[in-house]
Amino acid sequence: MNFVDIIEKKKKNIELSTQEIYWVVNSFVNNSLKDYQMSAFNMAVWFNGMSTKEIASFTQAMIDSGITYDLSEVKGLIADKHSTGGIGDKTSLIFSPLVAKFGVKVAKLSGRGLGQTGGTIDKLESCPGWTGEISDHRFKEILNEIGISIMSQSSQVVPADKKLYALRDVTGTVDSIPLIASSIMSKKLVIPANSIILDVKMGSGAFMKDLDKAVELSKTMIGIGKEHNRNVSVMITNMDKPLGRAIGNAIEVKEAWDTLNGNGPSDLEELCVTAAGLTLVQNEVFKDLKTAKEELLKVLKDKSAAHLLKDFIEAQNGNFDVIIDYDKNFSTKHVIEVFAQKEGYVSFVSADQLGYLSMYLGAGRATKEEEIDFSAGIYLNKTTNEFVKKGEVIMTLYTNRDNVESFKQKAEELILIKDKKENEELILKLLTS
């Protein structure tokens, strides 16, 4: 095959055959297609999009570039979940016990955080000893014993996406719906889950800035799921504000634990109960979302799913007692309180900026090589739309780094006090296959 012919076709919006798409992906992975050629291909896709058939072939070619998992030894139904990335997003840690409590197993591959967004693997590693580097055999064993297991996504999973994403990132082609949809779904489809719930974030801190685009992305991913006989549901949720009050690592695991014990922030609880509810409806545990949510709220109230978070973390060698005794184990050299300069309703410049502040405090990495400080982070004593009086604490910063005045100033710059509340809808739309 000739790359120039393929790019000419894509440029003129002529549908590529499955063979041509496989050839592009395989040639890129084995380095016979150069970065500049693949960049031209990505840009042509950015302008002309892809047909449903092209997206299906592209996703399958990406999956076939790496390993897939056989979970036939795992008894019962399996669910998976993915979020397109949010600030303070510890949903998986609450969703998984809630779903497992009703007998549906949660098998997930997760990644680390980079930049302003945290990663589930980093959060879990704040429990000393916890590891996501487990064998396939152990993954299946834990799924059968506890009902939840989370593995670090290895470099053998969809290697084509890793290489492609790095290129898209530096060539202005990240925000293409077919490329995002195939990137996300290829990584989901390597796990043979019966159901997949996707949390597509929308707003200032997200890839999708408006609802129409978020719906288009969601429908594209549901379509890919259908091609692979997977039941995919999508929640489009607001990412103009952080989720819950805790941003960091150990502080987020603690908030997840509190939520499972009935003491979580209402937005986080609502999101987790909706995600778990949709999953339980997808797996026919409940007939409708309303019933599922009522039952899940009972479980939060009677705390009966909380132990599953502890059990799963311990099964993967983590010491969970440090979270139960949080204050003793995660103290920091500096505790910086940031006060309201006037009274009104709290708002933040953007959720993303709070993510960056948390990173500067030590909770995230600016480069892949940086080490994380599990104790660092932010607690929002007041969050979006809450009323604050002048002089009250809006947020508390935890850090072992010494630039106290600079952190305080940065935090003050992120706070906006408004005369009236903002639109605070959290779940903007639900879509099911």
Residues that bind ligand URA (CB under 6 A): 84, 165, 174, 179-180, 183-184, 207
Give the nearest distance from C-beta 428 to ligand URA in angstroms. 18
Give the nearest distance from C-beta 224 to ligand URA in angstroms. 13
The DSSP annotation for 49-103 comes to: ---HHHHHHHHHHHHTTS-----TTS-S-EEEEEE---TT--HHHHHHHHHHHTT
The one catalytic residue among 10, 82, 140, 245: 82
**Of residues 165 and 339, the one with the C-beta less far from ligand URA:** 165
**Of residues 183 and 358, the one with the C-beta less far from ligand URA:** 183
Nearest to 75 by CA among 119, 107, 47: 107
C-alpha dihedral over 362, 365, 366, 367, to 10 degrees? 140
**Of residues 183 and 231, the one with the C-beta less far from ligand URA:** 183
The one catalytic residue among 168, 188, 245, 365: 168
Pair 198, 221: CB distance under 8 Å: yes
Give the nearest distance from C-beta 87 to ligand URA in angstroms. 15
Give the nearest distance from C-beta 42 to ligand URA in angstroms. 11
The one catalytic residue among 187, 188, 230, 241: 187
The one catalytic residue among 65, 183, 186, 233: 183
Host H or E run for residue 152: strand 148-152
183 annotated active-site: yes
Give the nearest distance from C-beta 111 to ligand URA in angstroms. 8
Pair 377, 252: CB distance under 8 Å: yes
The span from the CA of 84 to the CA of 264, in Å, is 22
**Of residues 99 and 180, the one with the C-beta less far from ligand URA:** 180
**Of residues 154 and 304, the one with the C-beta less far from ligand URA:** 154
The span from the CA of 411 to the CA of 247, in Å, is 13
**Of residues 98 and 180, the one with the C-beta less far from ligand URA:** 180
Pair 236, 84: CB distance under 8 Å: no
Give the nearest distance from C-beta 196 to ligand URA in angstroms. 14
The span from the CA of 145 to the CA of 271, in Å, is 27
Task: Give me the amino acid identity at 312.
Answer: F
Orientation of helix 91-101 relative to helix 266-282, angle to 10°: 40
168 annotated active-site: yes
Q: How crowded is residue 397: how many other Cβ atoms within 10 Å of its Cβ?
A: 25
The one catalytic residue among 80, 89, 161, 352: 161
**Of residues 82 and 254, the one with the C-beta less far from ligand URA:** 82
The span from the CA of 4 to the CA of 61, in Å, is 20
Query: Scanning the structure block, which residue is given the tokens 């996501």?
Result: 132
Task: Give me the amino acid identity at 208.
Answer: M
Give the nearest distance from C-beta 181 to ligand URA in angstroms. 8
- Residue 360 DSSP symbol: I
Task: Give me the amino acid identity at 159.
Answer: P
Q: Please, how many CA atoms are within 13 Å of residue 39, restricted to the half-sphere of its CB?
A: 9
Please list the active-site residues: 82, 161, 168, 183, 187
